[in-house]
Structure 1
Amino acid sequence: MTHIHTEIYGQGQPLVMIHGWAMHTGIWRDFARQLAEVYQVICVDLPGHGRSEVLEPFDLETIAKTVLQAIPVQQFSVLGWSLGATVAMAMAEQAPQRIRHLVVLAGNPRFVQTEEWPGVKSQTLDGFVELLKTDVQQTLTRFLALQVNGLAHGKALLQSLKQALQECPPPPVAVLQAGLDVLKSSDLRAFIRNNPLPTSLILGEKDTLIPLSCGDAVRELNAGVNVHVLAAAGHAPFLSHPQQLLTALSHVL
């Protein structure tokens, strides 16, 4: 079995947290410890990220199954961020009986923009794929910069992201490429349309990766989804607007 690294803080109702592409648990450890004043927070390193072993094949179905097996409690709420949100939705689709509440943070059931769906331009992800072939560090730096683009204190936030990432070596290039493939190819709109679970979508007002129009698009799929917009926040609100995010989570969980 693939070893999946977890870090557990606090006591109370279990809340599983799943990070984004190229990241690891350290990226939001401080925020997790704040949440741990109320919840038992279980942070998970995705396969091949942080301190978790590489998984083959690195596809969405296998990732979700492997993460579900690694969670030490039977029932929990799950908060997924960015790529982690895609994984969280896939987990809820595979094992709805284990999920109390699904929180999609800066995520999208269809990550890539199409003519009828708002999302990231496919050229943006293609650019990362190409850059990965020659310069992993520059790819990661560019991706981090996108997350704080246009925010007040953006330079300081970028530095915080970089410092947190340096705690662990970056994932292997093959894992990074596979993660981008997951984002490019996954389409969980049918799941969201038929999803019976309590579900919340939390978006940053100034997120340059997940446009605000995703909120309306998701509500059209399923009017039962709670949509929360964090004013002036970007793609990583747990760093830029932690108190605002904590307040939003206290309302939805």
Structure 2
Amino acid sequence: MSSVLNANVSENLVSRTRGTGKDLVLLHGWGMNSGVFEHFIPLLEEEFRITTIDLPGFGENNSLVPQQTYSVASVANMLLPYLPDNCIVAGWSLGGMVAQQLALDNPDKISGLITIASTPRFVSGPCWPGIDADLLAQFETQLAKDYQKTLERFLAIQAMGSDTARKDMKAIRKSITAYPTPDLDALKAALGLLSSEDLRDQIGRIRQPTLRIYGRLDSLVPTSGIDRICELHPQSDTVVLPHASHAPFISHPQQSADIIRQFAGAV
């Protein structure tokens, strides 16, 4: 089945829609844009109408940032008008945190939630595995000096451990360079969210069917924290891909698509 790519430009954000079927929204992670889903979307577009929206300050929306504080809540509020009714929202990494916020605030609009290599809190803390706070501080310092070098290092960490790490990095790099570069202030602000945002006390209120996909080799969202997330949100379903790292839809696209398809069939 052929599909038509439509770019919808309103007074604010740009969104893109492909495919036909149940509505599925894909949200990218920090430093990226919707280009990361370029090779993943074709595996789903015959069964889903897929909407991608670059986060404010990134990709095609690099000139548009929240007027108020850059936070998960303000980003979610900006995206909300562009989400189809009764949609499933799937967010990767930082996009998964935004997706969780959207699900919490909009139970009547969002029918299902999927997080991919994501968490309600990224930074590590007492009894909470995550990204080392010192590492995030290093990224924040480096970002002011050299965006490209910082992004390359972040990409390397995301692919770390995967058997296809070099191939994964190359694929991500190639896909995102087709889009405009992000706004530097948005990059800094969004990186700060990895250190500051914490939805742990809230995710137990998510009532939509929820699927959480992890990579066993992920060093940014370590599997040692999965049990804690399950305790906070016991209603969610969990799938761990044994050979994947932080970008399972890149390293294991068909397996990831099959998992999403199976979940969406019951939503």
- Contact kept, 8 Å, 1:13 with 1:76, in 2: the verdict is yes
Post-superposition Cα deviations, 1:67-123, rounded to whole Å, max 9, x if no partner, equal 01122x222000000010011011112211111111111000011111121211111
Where in structure 2 are there 5+ consecutive unaligned residues? Answer: 1-9
Task: Supply the AA of the counterpart residue of 2:41.
Answer: A
Alignment partner of 1:48 is 2:60? no
Distance 1:194 1:41 in 2: 26
What secondary structure sits across from 2:154 in the alignment?
A: helix
Distance 2:258 2:44 in 1: 10
TM-score (norm 1): 0.95
Distance 1:170 1:161 in 2: 14
Alignment partner of 1:129 is 2:140? yes
Distance 1:2 1:18 in 2: 20
Identical aligned residues as a percent: 34
What secondary structure sits across from 2:17 in the alignment?
A: strand
Query: Which one of 67, 70, 94 corresponds to residue 83 of structure 1?
Result: 94
Deviation at 1:198, TM superposition (A): 0.9
Name the residue aligned to 1:63.
Answer: 75
Task: Supply the AA of the counterpart residue of 1:99.
Answer: I
Query: Which one of 118, 126, 139 corresponds to residue 115 of structure 1?
Result: 126
- Contact kept, 8 Å, 2:13 with 2:64, in 1: the verdict is no
Deviation at 1:2, TM superposition (A): 6.2
Task: Supply the AA of the counterpart residue of 1:245.
Answer: S
Query: Which one of 10, 14, 17 corresponds to residue 5 of structure 1?
Result: 14
Deviation at 1:251, TM superposition (A): 2.3
What secondary structure sits across from 2:108 in the alignment?
A: helix
Where in structure 1 are there 5+ consecutive unaligned residues? Answer: none
Name the residue aligned to 1:175.
Answer: 186
Post-superposition Cα deviations, 1:155-175, rounded to whole Å, max 9, x if no partner, equal 122111111121123212211
Name the residue aligned to 2:47.
Answer: 38
Alignment partner of 1:17 is 2:26? yes
Distance 2:257 2:159 in 1: 19
Deviation at 1:190, TM superposition (A): 1.8
Distance 2:128 2:11 in 1: 35
Deviation at 1:5, TM superposition (A): 1.8
Alignment partner of 1:152 is 2:171? no
The number of residues matched between the two structures is 252
Distance 1:114 1:143 in 2: 21
Alignment partner of 1:248 is 2:259? yes
Equivalent residues in 2 for 1:221-240, closer than 5 Å: 221-240=232-251
Distance 1:16 1:136 in 2: 28
Query: Which one of 177, 197, 205 corresponds to residue 216 of structure 2?
Result: 205
Deviation at 1:188, TM superposition (A): 0.9
Alignment partner of 1:214 is 2:220? no
Name the residue aligned to 1:141.
Answer: 152
Distance 1:79 1:171 in 2: 21
Distance 1:197 1:156 in 2: 35
What secondary structure sits across from 1:163 in the alignment?
A: helix
What secondary structure sits across from 1:48 in the alignment?
A: coil
Name the residue aligned to 1:102.
Answer: 113
What is the alpha-carbon root mean square deviation over aligned residues? 1.4
Distance 1:22 1:3 in 2: 20
Deviation at 1:223, TM superposition (A): 1.7
Distance 1:213 1:199 in 2: 20
Name the residue aligned to 1:161.
Answer: 172
- Contact kept, 8 Å, 2:18 with 2:49, in 1: the verdict is yes
- Contact kept, 8 Å, 1:118 with 1:214, in 2: the verdict is yes
- Contact kept, 8 Å, 1:147 with 1:234, in 2: the verdict is yes
Distance 2:106 2:46 in 1: 27
What secondary structure sits across from 1:96 in the alignment?
A: coil
Distance 1:60 1:221 in 2: 19
What secondary structure sits across from 2:85 in the alignment?
A: coil
What secondary structure sits across from 1:190 in the alignment?
A: coil
Structure 1 segments, 4+ long, off by >4 Å, are: none
